[in-house]
Amino acid sequence: MEVILAEHAGFCFGVKKAVDTVYEQVEHKDKKIYTYGPIIHNEEVVKDLESKGVEVVNNVDDLSNVSEDGTIVIRAHGIPRKTEEKIKQKGISYVDATCPFVKRIHRIVDEESQKGRTIVITGNAKHPEVEGIVSWANGPVYVIESLEDAQKFALPVETELTLVSQTTFNYKKFKDVVEIFNGKGYNINIVNTICNATQERQTEAEKIAAEADAMIVIGGTSSSNTRKLYEICSGKCKHTYFVQTVDDLPKDFPEGIYKVGITAGASTPKNIIEEVQTYVRTGTDI
C-alpha cells in the first residue's frame, strides 16, 4: 500500500510546548502536578499523564482541591482572565503554557477594546480558547460562529470594530465573514489571527485527500481541529476514516484502494501517527 503522510500531521508548536511542559513538571517529584482542563484533546496522552499522577482541574471550583504543594499547568489555548486571577488570589503556583499565538490575541483584544473598539471574534463561543479570548475584552464583544451570524450582525454602522479569530477557524470562512462585514460599511480593523499551523495542515490535508484513494485522519473525538480536518478530507475523498488510534482502523480497506493519505490533528502524538502508518504500510501493528 502506498502511503502519503502529511508533513504537518500532529503536534503543532504550541501543543508540543504545553505537553513538554507537563512532562518536565512531572519530573519534580516533590510537587503534585495539575493541568487546567485536559492538556490536549487526546485520551492516550491524558491517560499517560494520569498514570504519572497528574490531575485535571476542570473548573474554578476545583481549585479548592489543589494541594498546597500543587502546580497547575495552563494549557495551550489558555484560560479566562478571571480564572488566572483566581489562581493568583489563592496563591497557587502555576506554569503558563498558553501558546504565544493565543497570548497575542489576548493582547490585541485587550488593547483594541481599551481604545473603545468593539471586538468581534470568529470562532466557536463554547470553545475554551474563545472563552479565554472573550475574557480579555474590556467592553462589548461578539462571537461570530457562522456566515449567518455575520449577516445578522446589526450594530450601528459607525461602531468601530476589531475582528480577530480563534486560531483554528477555517480560513475561507474567515475571509467570507470579512467580506460580509466590509459590505456592511463598518470601520473595521481586521487582524487575521488564524494560526499558520492550522492553515498549513488543512491545505495539505485537502491536497492529499484529493489524490488518495482513502484518507485517514487521526485525532481525539473532542478535538475540534481534527474534526475540521475530517470534514475537509471527506469533501475530497469518500473513503475518509476518523480514528483515535490504530485500533479504530478497519481490518481491510475496500477494493481498489492503493494509495492512502494520513494526516493528524494538532493534539496527536507522533507515536500514534507512526503506529497507523506502519499498520497501513505493512498490515501489522508495531
Candidates 25, 83, 166, 198; binder of ligand F3S (CB under 6 A) is 198
Residue 255 a catalytic site member: no
User: How many angstroms separate the Cα of 31 from the Cα of each of 46, 55, 75, 245?
Assistant: 19, 12, 18, 32
Contact 155, 181 (CB under 8 A): no
Please identify, using beta-carbon distances, which residue of 201 and 239 lies nearer to ligand F3S.
201
Q: Taking CB under 6 A as the rule, which mask of x and - marks residues 44-83 in contact with ligand F3S? A: --------------------------------x-------
Residue 167 in marked binding region: yes
Q: How many residues bind ligand F3S (CB under 6 A)?
A: 13
Binding mask 6-25 for ligand F3S (x = CB under 6 A): ------xxxx----------
Task: For residue 38, state whether it binds ligand F3S (rule: CB under 6 A).
Answer: no
Is the Cβ–Cβ distance between 12 and 195 less than 8 Å? yes
Shortest Cβ 195–ligand F3S spacing (Å): 3
225 is in an annotated binding site: yes
Least distance in angstroms from the C-beta of 76 to ligand F3S: 4
Strand order of the β-sheet with 214-218 is 2-5, 259-264, 214-218, 240-243
**Binding of ligand F3S by 280 (CB under 6 A):** no
- Distance from C-alpha of 178 to C-alpha of 183, rounded to nearest angstrom: 8
Q: Which of 160, 115, 105, 162 is nearest to 135 (CA)?
A: 105
Does the protein bind ligand F3S through residue 99 (CB under 6 A)? yes
Figure out which of the listed residues 266, 272, 273, 276 binds ligand F3S, where binding follows CB under 6 A.
266
Residue nearer to ligand F3S on the CB measure, 118 or 223: 223
**Which of 120, 161, 126 is closest to 141 using CA atoms?**
120
The answer on whether 113 is annotated among ligand-binding residues is no
User: Where in 133-192 is the site for ligand F3S (CB under 6 A)?
Assistant: 167
Q: Is 233 annotated as belonging to a binding site?
A: no
Distance of alpha carbon 166 from alpha carbon 79, whole angstroms: 14
Start-to-end CA span in the chain (Å): 16
Q: Of the two residues 76 and 214, which places its CB atom closer to ligand F3S in the complex?
A: 76
Locate 197 and state its grid cell.
499551523
Q: Which residue in the list 129, 131, 145, 204 is annotated as catalytic?
A: 129
Burial class (CB in 10 A: 0-12, 13-18, 19+), 136: buried
Residue 51 burial (CB count, 10 A): 8
Task: Determine contact, residues 131/80, Cβ cutoff 8 Å.
Answer: yes
Which residues make up each annotated binding site for [4Fe-4S] cluster? 12, 99, 195
Enumerate the known binding-site residues. Answer: 12, 41, 77, 99, 127, 167, 195, 223-225, 267
Judged by the rule CB under 6 A, the positions of this chain that interact with ligand F3S are 12-15, 76, 99, 101-102, 167, 195, 197-198, 266
List, by residue number, the catalytic residues.
129
